[in-house]
């Protein structure tokens, strides 16, 4: 009887250990995906700051969309639409003596399988002079094991940057 009791106890412990390992595996995968998403976004900004359109292109899906929500001088909300190709082309144009620096203040990343969003408040500087602030919302998809940016929507404003 003692043998069976020990066997049952061993099996129970084994099942518990396996369950914990699988639960941790999902947590580790989520951490890995979060890191990969941050890396994808950081590569985009590295490409923008170095005027490297090849690097920018490497993280955008071929049909990515870019939209900016801005206020006109009269206070009217407008949406600026840009294609991925237009954005890629613009990032490859180096302007002498101009340095851009978009500083991401934080990341809030949500993942569901092969889809994710990242909410990133930012401040934008040109030659170390404040230009504007806002929030980027990235929509990403994991394609062939790699996170790609499917779309970016951002807001732009010159005041109320702490919100």
Answer whether residue 163 is part of any domain: no
The tally of domains found in the chain comes to 1
Phi-psi region of 51 (alpha: psi -120 to 50; beta: other; left: phi over 0): left
Could you list the beta-strand ranges (E) of 3-145.
Answer: 60-71, 77-83, 100-104, 108-112, 115-126, 129-143
Domain that holds residue 100: 2-155
Residue 66's pLDDT is 97
Between 120 and 15, where is the model more confident? 120
Q: Is residue 160 part of a domain?
A: no
- In a domain? residue 108: yes
Predicted local confidence at residue 1, as pLDDT: 57
Is position 161 within any domain? no
pLDDT at 160: 86
Using one digit for the tens of pLDDT, what is the confidence trace for 20-59?
Answer: 545 555 555 668 999 999 999 999 999 999 999 999 999 9
């Amino acid at each position: 009887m003692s043998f069976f009791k020990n066997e049952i106890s061993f099996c129970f412990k084994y099942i518990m250990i396996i369950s914990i390992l699988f639960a941790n595996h999902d947590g580790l995968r989520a951490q890995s995906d979060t890191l990969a998403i941050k890396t994808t976004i950081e590569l985009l900004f590295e490409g923008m700051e170095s005027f490297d359109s090849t690097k920018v292109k490497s993280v955008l899906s071929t049909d990515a969309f870019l939209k900016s929500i801005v206020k006109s001088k009269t206070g009217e909300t407008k949406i600026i639409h840009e294609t991925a190709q237009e954005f890629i082309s613009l990032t490859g144009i180096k302007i002498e003596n101009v340095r851009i620096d978009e500083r991401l203040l934080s990341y809030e990343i949500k993942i569901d399988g092969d889809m994710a969003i990242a909410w990133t408040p930012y401040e934008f500087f040109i030659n170390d002079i404040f230009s504007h602030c806002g929030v980027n919302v990235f929509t990403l998809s994991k394609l062939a094991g790699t996170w790609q940016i499917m779309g970016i929507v951002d807001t732009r404003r010159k005041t109320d940057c702490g919100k």
